[in-house]
Structure formats: C-alpha cells, structure tokens
Chain A
C-alpha cells in the first residue's frame, strides 16, 4: 500500500495551498505535473487532450484540497484525480465505433519500415494498440507501465480489488498480443 500521510514538506505545501498562498499552488503543481501529464498523455494519446485532462486534474486538485483528509497518501489522491479526469474526458468525448478506432490506430501507426525507424515505429504501434483498449484496461496498463505502480497501488487508485487489476492487465496483454502479432 502507498504511504498514508504526506511527508512534512508536502503537508506544509498543502496547508499553504489551503491558506491560499499562490506560490504553494505552483510548488504543488511542479511536484506532480509530470506524473499527471504522463498519465493523461499515455491514456489519451493526444497532446492537446492531455493538456486539457491535466488542466481539469489540477483545477480539481486546487479546488478540493480541503476535502483531502489524509486517509490515503497524497499521491494516491492525485492519481485518483487524474484517473477520474481521464475517464470523465473519455465519457464526454464522442467515441468512434471500435472498428473505426482500430482503423485510426492503424492509420496513425507509421508505415515506414526503415531500420533506423524500427524502434520508434514499434513504440508508436504499441501506443496505438494501447489506445484501442477499453478505458479501464488502458488505465491499468498506463498506471502499471508509465507509473510503475504495483497491483495493490493500482487497486487503491481505481477503487477495485488487486484481483480485478490482475485480470484487466492479463486481458490487456492478450488483446495487445493479438493486435501486435502481425508486427
């Protein structure tokens, strides 16, 4: 499980934010911006959308700091905010039919097979394949591989059991294997 209380420095930052000190907001932002942006980008696959998701996350974070009671680690709380922002954004946005999603993923994957580009191409193909996963599976994959969270940590962030996390990850692996088998 994650730490259940913020360290002293973070705790003081949170208190300063609650007092409305502008520098504290900026410091808290700097401490968590890479994590929030990474998850948002790896989940959405689009820089512009990731900026919007990150904006939503930080606005929610700043406006609801008073609700953070310290029951879980502050980082867990931030993870929950960004996960919810990603899933909310997904729900709000118009979703193409899965088949069209697959087509877009294929179109987005570069077709250049030059040796020098092979690694970059493979990464793009893997990311494109990840983007076709269902939101729940994709989020588990992002939290696992982008943030390196354990099954228990992911379960705590997503509000489900570690068994569910393992199951989603297993299904995601199988789906990705099928999608990337032709590579």
Chain B
C-alpha cells in the first residue's frame, strides 16, 4: 500500500460536524416521491421482450416453412437425384413431371434433404428424410418420409405419375 495515498486519504476524508440544519431536515416532511410510472409503462419492457420473442418464433417458423434455397441448382431431375444420393444418401427416383420443374436440392443433414421445385410460378420445397415417419412414402427398396410446405400434390409428382 502506498503511504502517500494512505496519508492523502486520511487528510482528505476527515470526519465533519453535521450542520445545525440537519435536525430540521430530518423532521421536515419528506418530499413526495416522484410519481410512479403508469402501470402500462411498467409492463412495456416485458411486453416488448415477449413481442420480440414471438416475432423471432414466427420468423424462425416461417423460415422453416419457406422453400429452402437450393445448394445444388439444376433443372435436371436425374442430376438432382444423383446429387441427393451422393450427398445425403437418399436415392429418390426423381422424374420429369408436367407442370413441376425441379430447381435443385439442399442437404439439411445426413439423411434429410429438401428438394426445391417450381409449380404454377411458385417456388416450393419438400423435405425428404430416410425411414418411415408421419407421412411415409414407399419407394422401391426403401421408405422415406415427406414434409411439404404446401398441401398440394405437386411434391408427389416429383417421383410418381399421378
């Protein structure tokens, strides 16, 4: 410890005598506290946080539902099929279908892939995962599970002639 600082503090922070007016100040009526904010303002911050969380949830959900941007871009179903089989291990027999144009595919994780296609001028996608799930689809030799971002049967046309 520095003796100089010790000395300076001892000189500078000496005790004081309280002013005579202190008793009157203690006995004086206390000033009215500042008016409390309106109840609505008290909830403003929590509501704002909740709104942000809600927006993020909506945004993340909509991102999930939004057609995936293709990783592999090609309008050739066979090329997309080979890429999916090689990259995600999902051998789905894509075929040319009237009114449905394959745009490409994206690997979500091993065993899960999203096929992006265009139908009626809209870009849509279908997620395909290996194994039987909620919406199984039997293909020669294996079963996959589909999850399309629309209720149309366009995704089915990617592999089947309906």
Contacts and interface: CB of A to CB of B under 8 A. Distances in A.
Interface in B30-80: 30
Contact of A146 (B1, B6, B13): B13
Interface residues of B, number: 23
Contacts of A127: 12-13
A15 B75 CA distance: 94
Nearest to A30: B23
A126 B10 CA distance: 10
Interface stretch (A54-62, A65-73, A100-108): A54-62
Interface in B1-32: 1-2, 5-6, 8-19, 21-23, 25-26, 28, 30
B159 to A, nearest CB: 63
Interface of B: 1-2, 5-6, 8-19, 21-23, 25-26, 28, 30
Interface of A: 26, 29, 33-38, 41-42, 47, 51, 54-55, 58-59, 119, 122-123, 126-127, 130, 141-142, 144-147, 170, 173, 176-177, 180
Given A54-B18, A126-B9, A180-B8, 13 more contacts: A29-B23, A34-B15, A34-B16, A34-B18, A51-B19, A51-B22, A55-B22, A126-B8, A144-B9, A145-B13, A146-B13, A173-B2, A173-B6
4 closest residue pairs by CB, A with B: A37-B18, A126-B12, A33-B18, A145-B13
